[in-house]
Amino acid sequence: MILRKPNFYDNFKCIASRCSDTCCVGWEIDIDEASQKAYRKVTGAFGDKLRANIEDGHFKLLPHDRCPFLDKENLCEIYAHLGEGALCDICREHPRFVEVYGDIMERGLGLCCEEAARLLLASDGPLTFTTEECNEPEDELDDDDREIRDEVLYAREQIFATLADNSLTFQEKLHNVFRYTDENPFAPLENAKAYLEHLAKTESFGPAWDEALARIKAKIDAVQDARALEDQGLFSETESTQLLAYLIYRHYAKCLFEGREQGKLLFALFFWNVARFFTKELGGKIGAIKILSRQLEYCEENMELIEKWLDDSTGIC
């Protein structure tokens, strides 16, 4: 099996209490069977606390959806008492993700994590990937499926090559990949109001998103023409290219299983446009990436909604 990772993947390390947010609030944390079995054997007062706070295979959340093992400094009590090896699978792996396409495995870091977003934007060059052999079991593909897989991955490689081509201007890269021009900076949608309407129809993950959406609405309502909003200019061309390439890396090849090839390609443009036009309303560059990732990428229903809208559009591709 071939393992592919983005160039910054191995540099990731959770920054724990130094994070301005925490992944231990606002999520239902499922506990794998092996971890549940291990937790039943933990002795003493902490073992009693473990068992008292597990219900139906997940941790019972406290008010404001805090994990019961998140202390006042936003550090994990399970890690502190029992070590990293005692963490359940989802806590140990988050924000990492994995996709398998036959004998090719791809790993990455979810951008709902601010440290992952920081690492993505920190590079001063194009997004690149490392490959190595690994012993993970592969998914079986017949010859026809393997051929289609190779065609999709080849098309994606051409997109990566275009975005990394320093002989092209940034606008030329956008045109070659998305058929995007300055004629409508809000493409693939008509204007900023259309973005708001689409975002408002997604299922909210919580108050932080609702408040951000209200700020976006107030900004749009303050202008007479929803096409008159300008890029806030906080994302450099290099950062924009990195973000676009990474979103394509995470989602485009999944058209092999889910279809919506155009929708998955245009999702990168959709995400980038929301982030750059409403950077301040979403909490700055890292905040914008983080909150959009959490709202969209971590909800299958929301991703499907957005991708279907984009896939069914007459669009720019």
**Contact yes or no for 239/289 (Cβ under 8 A):** no
Residue 104 lies in a domain: no
Residue 43 lies in a domain: yes
Residue 29 confidence class, pLDDT cut points 50, 70, 90: confident
Residue 125 lies in a domain: no
Residue 127 lies in a domain: no
Report the domain count for the chain.
2
Query: Residue 38 is encoded by which pair of tokens?
Result: 């291990």
pTM attached to this predicted model? 0.90
For residues 135-171, one letter each, b for 16 or more C-beta atoms within 10 angstroms of the residue's C-beta and e for the rest, the string is eeeeeebeeeeeeebeebbeebeebbebbeeeeeeee
Query: Cα–Cα distances in Å, from 39 out to 44, 81, 143?
Result: 11, 12, 44
Residue 317 has pLDDT above 70, yes or no: no
DSSP letters, 261-298, are HHHHHHHHHHHHHHHHHSTTTTTHHHHHHHHHIIIIIT
Task: Tell me the C-alpha distance between 181 and 175, whole Å.
Answer: 6
pLDDT of residue 314: 54
Residue numbers of the domain that contains 65: 24-93
Query: Residue 119 is encoded by which pair of tokens?
Result: 């690492």
Residue 14 lies in a domain: no
46: enclosing H helix or E strand: helix 44-52
Around Cβ 313, how many Cβ atoms within 10 Å? 16
Q: Tell me, yes or no, whether 56 and 200 share the same domain.
A: no
Residue 168 lies in a domain: yes
Residue 159 confidence class, pLDDT cut points 50, 70, 90: very high
Q: Tell me, yes or no, whether 159 and 266 share the same domain.
A: yes
Q: Tell me, yes or no, whether 88 and 196 share the same domain.
A: no
Q: Which residues, at least 6 apart from 69, have a Cβ–Cβ distance to it below 8 Å?
A: 24, 49, 53, 59, 76, 77, 78
Q: Tell me, yes or no, whether 85 and 149 share the same domain.
A: no
pLDDT digits (tens, 9 = 90+) for 48-65: 999 999 988 889 998 888
Around Cβ 133, how many Cβ atoms within 10 Å? 8
pLDDT of residue 125: 87
State the sign of the Cα–Cα–Cα–Cα dihedral 234, 238, 272, 12. Answer: negative
CA terminus-to-terminus distance, the chain? 33
Q: Tell me, yes or no, whether 74 and 222 share the same domain.
A: no
Boundary-marking domain end, from 72, 93, 114: 93
Q: Tell me, yes or no, whether 75 and 145 share the same domain.
A: no
pLDDT digits (tens, 9 = 90+) for 175-228: 999 999 888 899 999 999 999 999 999 999 889 999 999 999 999 999 888 777
Residue 224 lies in a domain: yes
Q: Tell me, yes or no, whether 172 and 294 share the same domain.
A: yes
Q: Tell me, yes or no, whether 89 and 145 share the same domain.
A: no
For residues 88-113, one letter each, b for 16 or more C-beta atoms within 10 angstroms of the residue's C-beta and e for the rest, the string is bebbeebbeeebebbebbbbbbbbbb
Q: Tell me, yes or no, whether 41 and 145 share the same domain.
A: no
